Amino acid sequence: MSVSASPIDENGSTTLSGGFSDPGVLDTHTVVINWGDTTSTTLNLLAGVTAIPATSHTYLDNRASDAAYTISVQVTDKDGASLSAAATTTVTVNNVAPSAALTAAEDNDLHEGNTLSFSATATDAGPTDQAAGFTFQWRVTKNGAAYRSLDSAAGQASSAYSFVPDDNGEYVVSVTATDKDGLTGPADSQTLTVLNVAPSAASVSVSASPIDENGSTTLSGSFSDPGVLDTHTVVINWGDTTSTTLNLLAGVTAIPATSHTYLDNQASDAAYTISVQVTDKDGASLSAAATTTVTVNNVAPSAASVSVSASPIDEKREHDAQRRFQRSGRAGHAHGSDQLGRHDEHDVEPVGGRDGDSGHQPHLPGQPGERRGVHDQRAGHGQGRGEPVRGGDDHGDGEQRSAERGR
């Protein structure tokens, strides 16, 4: 006995042929071929025929570890006598790996933060394997590095998979299938270019408005960005030509409470507009800056607001001078206030008069009051030792600025 082909692949066929002898030329014979896979074929040969006709058989599956099947053939004559031992031969049937097919959902939106969905099926040459189902192995790389993976349960006809890209980049999704015999086929894959998404939905607010000049308010807010790995730069333009830049860590979309002091009101105490721009690490910004407003009210001046000295003086002299100024201010101008006066006393500094500190800018809170008050104070004390504003070159500017602010 022999077979025409071995090894063969599962679901392939081989053809058995052979012969025997029997001196009873009138004997007919029955030939039973056990293929070794629990199936058999019976042939009835005419009298005098001792050649086993070529008989083909399809093996639907391999054996474990692709071990060979043993084919045994028994021949019995019409008088009931059989071969003393069945004739045998073998055929090796190899398992064949399944091939997987990947399909991406048609409505996948290739932007960071969106769920991307896929499905896979597998095809196996072996019908037994096909019926048994598969294990699917999903693998995702991001910019060339392993990113996500999932193995399905065994015995699946198909598999669904999804993941959420946490950032823009190039993602490769691949899937393989493994048949019941443990053989894994080649991967099917798709390359996806996932795009960045700009920050959005920003809102900001301030803790207090209105506030007095030289008062502070605190801004806080939030925004969203589906790219959870994105870091963000937040630039707060306070509306008074100053700005604050915050660098937020990845995944942080709350704008931390940030306080700001407004040194001055605007004309007619018009509100300042605060604008906040957010830019992610990939360079995308809010389509429009988030804004809020803060009203800063002017505070009437008091006499103490200009009580600075032109030259180094000792503490006592400075104190005396302030007291005189305050008294004078209260007497001459009803708009002086005790509260402001106390505040301003703390802020008084010798303008340019300190040794070795001639470039120091005067800090004159509460100064931006009415021009009349400023001039009146100078008129009253310009010749005194407390006259501050002419202490150095810088203070001509200070004087001018004070006048401008009052407009």
Region of 65-73, 76-84, 229-237, 395-403 interacting with Ca ion (CB under 5 A): 229-237
Q: Closest distance between Ca ion and the C-beta of residue 10, in Å?
A: 5
Buried b (16+ CB within 10 A) or exposed e, 370-396: eeebbebbbebbeeeebbbbebbebbe
Strand partners, 189: 174
Region of 38-46, 211-219, 226-234, 242-250 interacting with Ca ion (CB under 5 A): 226-234
Q: Closest distance between Ca ion and the C-beta of residue 288, in Å?
A: 16
227 near Ca ion, rule: CB under 5 A = yes
Among 14, 35, 61, 298, binds Ca ion (CB under 5 A): 61
168 near Ca ion, rule: CB under 5 A = yes
Instruction: Give the closest residue to 18 by CA, choosing from 94, 92, 86.
Output: 86
Strand partners, 135: 178
Q: Closest distance between Ca ion and the C-beta of residue 64, in Å?
A: 9
166 near Ca ion, rule: CB under 5 A = no
Restricted to residues 281-320, the positions that interact with Ca ion (CB under 5 A) are 282
Q: Closest distance between Ca ion and the C-beta of residue 197, in Å?
A: 5
For residues 349 and 362, the answer to whether their CB atoms sit within 8 Å is: yes
129 near Ca ion, rule: CB under 5 A = yes
> How far is Cα 289 from Cα 249, in angstroms, rounded to an integer?
20
Residue 124 neighbours by CB under 8 Å, 6+ apart: 96, 97, 98, 99, 130, 134, 177, 179
Among 188, 213, 230, 318, binds Ca ion (CB under 5 A): 230
Rounded to a whole number of angstroms, the CA Rg of the chain reads 47
Classify residue 167 by its DSSP letter.
Answer: S
Instruction: Give the closest residue to 321 by CA, choosing from 298, 299, 353.
Output: 353
CA dihedral 379, 312, 330, 397 (to 10 degrees): 50
Region of 140-148, 167-175, 205-213, 291-299 interacting with Ca ion (CB under 5 A): 167-175
Instruction: Give the closest residue to 220 by CA, choosing from 205, 235, 199.
Output: 205
Region of 163-171, 270-278, 312-320, 331-339 interacting with Ca ion (CB under 5 A): 163-171
> How far is Cα 6 from Cα 251, in angstroms, rounded to an integer?
61
Q: Is 317 helix (H, G, I), strand (E, B) or coil?
A: helix
181 near Ca ion, rule: CB under 5 A = yes
Site string for Ca ion, 195-224 (x = CB under 5 A): -xx---------------------------
Among 77, 166, 179, 188, binds Ca ion (CB under 5 A): 179
For residues 40 and 32, the answer to whether their CB atoms sit within 8 Å is: yes
Among 22, 124, 166, 387, binds Ca ion (CB under 5 A): 124
Restricted to residues 336-395, the positions that interact with Ca ion (CB under 5 A) are none
Among 213, 225, 318, 387, binds Ca ion (CB under 5 A): 225
Q: With 0-12 CB in 10 A as exposed, 13-18 as middle and 19+ as buried, what is 201? A: exposed
Residue 66: phi, psi to the nearest 5?
55, 30
Size of the residue set binding Ca ion (CB under 5 A): 19
Region of 162-170, 260-268, 306-314, 387-395 interacting with Ca ion (CB under 5 A): 162-170
Per the structure block, which two tokens stand in for 229? 């790995």
Classify residue 341 by its DSSP letter.
Answer: H
Q: Closest distance between Ca ion and the C-beta of residue 69, in Å?
A: 13
Site string for Ca ion, 65-104 (x = CB under 5 A): ------------------------------xx--------
Q: Closest distance between Ca ion and the C-beta of residue 371, in Å?
A: 51
Restricted to residues 261-280, the positions that interact with Ca ion (CB under 5 A) are 280
Q: Closest distance between Ca ion and the C-beta of residue 259, in Å?
A: 28
Region of 50-58, 161-169, 291-299, 313-321 interacting with Ca ion (CB under 5 A): 161-169
Applying CB under 5 A, the residues found at the interface with Ca ion are 10, 61-62, 95-96, 124, 126, 129, 167-168, 179, 181, 196-197, 225, 227, 230, 280, 282
